[in-house]
Copies of this chain bind each other. A is one copy, B any other.
Amino acid sequence: MSRILSRRDLDFLLYEWLGVEALTSRERFAEHSRETFDAFLDVSARIAERDFAPHNRRADLVEPTFDGERVTIIPEVAAALAVFNESGLLSAGLDAEVGGLQLPHVVARACFMWFQAANIATASYPMLSIGNASLLLAHGTPEQIETYAKPILDGRFTGTMCLSEPQAGSSLSDVTTRATPSPDGSYRVTGSKMWISGGDHELSETIVHLVLARVAGAPPGVKSLSLFVVPKHHVAADGTVGERNGVALSGLNHKMGYRGTTNAVLSFEDATGYLVGQEGHGLAYMFHMMNEARIGVGAGAVALGYTGYLHALDYARERLQGRPVAAKDPAAPPVPIVEHPDVRRMLLASKAYVEGGLALVLYAAKLLDESSAENDLLLDVLTPIVKAWPSQWCRLANDHAIQIHGGYGYTREYPVEQFYRDNRLNSIHEGTDGIQGLDLLGRKVLMKDGAGLALLLDRIRDVARRSELGERVVEVADRVATTTAKLWADGNPTVALANSTAYLDAVGHLVIAWMWLSQLEAVGDKTGDFYAGKRLAARYFITHELPRTGPLLDLLDSRDTLLADLDPATL
Q: CB distance A341 to B498 under 8 Å?
A: yes
Given contacts A325-B438, A403-B432, A566-B536, contact A341 B411 (CB under 8 A): no
Interface size class of A (residues with CB under 8 A): 35 or more
Q: CB distance A170 to B406 under 8 Å?
A: yes
Given contacts A220-B330, A406-B428, contact A345 B563 (CB under 8 A): yes
How far is A554 from B326 in the complex, measured between Cα atoms in Å?
A: 24
Residue on B nearest A224 in the bound complex, by CB: B330
Q: CB distance B255 to A412 under 8 Å?
A: yes
Given contacts A325-B494, A342-B500, A425-B410, contact A221 B331 (CB under 8 A): yes
Q: CB distance A340 to B194 under 8 Å?
A: no
Q: CB distance A562 to B533 under 8 Å?
A: no
Instruction: Give A294 Cβ to nearest chain B Cβ, in Å.
Output: 16
Q: CB distance B568 to A411 under 8 Å?
A: no
Q: CB distance B497 to A563 under 8 Å?
A: no
Q: CB distance B171 to A410 under 8 Å?
A: no
Report B-chain residues with C-beta under 8 Å of the C-beta of A432: 403, 406
Q: Is the interface of A mostly helix, strand, loop or mixed?
A: helix
Say yes or no for A548: interface residue by CB 8 A criterion: yes
Q: CB distance B330 to A173 under 8 Å?
A: yes
User: Restricting to A449-484, which residues have a CB under 8 Å from any CB of B?
Assistant: none
Report B-chain residues with C-beta under 8 Å of the C-beta of A195: 407
- In the complex, the count of this chain's copies comes to 2
Q: Which of A161-169, A183-191, A201-209, A270-278 contacts the other chain? A: A161-169
Q: CB distance B570 to A533 under 8 Å?
A: yes
Residue on B nearest A533 in the bound complex, by CB: B570
Given contacts A331-B220, A347-B571, A570-B532, contact A164 B254 (CB under 8 A): no
Say yes or no for A490: interface residue by CB 8 A criterion: no
Report B-chain residues with C-beta under 8 Å of the C-beta of A410: 255-257, 424-425, 428
How far is A173 from B550 in the complex, measured between Cα atoms in Å?
A: 42
Q: CB distance B563 to A555 under 8 Å?
A: no
User: Restricting to A339-382, which residues have a CB under 8 Å from any CB of B?
Assistant: 339-345, 347-348, 351
Q: CB distance B562 to A544 under 8 Å?
A: yes
Given contacts A494-B326, A533-B571, contact A253 B411 (CB under 8 A): yes
Q: CB distance B571 to A341 under 8 Å?
A: no
Q: Contact mask A421-443 → B, CB, 8 Å, 1/0?
A: 10011011100111001100010
Say yes or no for A174: interface residue by CB 8 A criterion: yes
Q: Can you identify 6 A-B contacts, CB atoms within 8 angstroms?
A: A221-B331, A338-B568, A342-B563, A348-B562, A402-B424, A536-B562
Q: Residues of A at under 8 Å CB distance from B?
A: 164, 167-171, 173-174, 194-195, 219-222, 253-257, 313, 316-317, 320-326, 330-331, 334, 336, 338-345, 347-348, 351, 402-403, 406-407, 409-413, 417, 420-421, 424-425, 427-429, 432-434, 437-438, 442, 492-494, 497-501, 529-530, 532-533, 536, 539-540, 543-544, 547-548, 550-551, 554-555, 558, 560, 562-564, 566-571
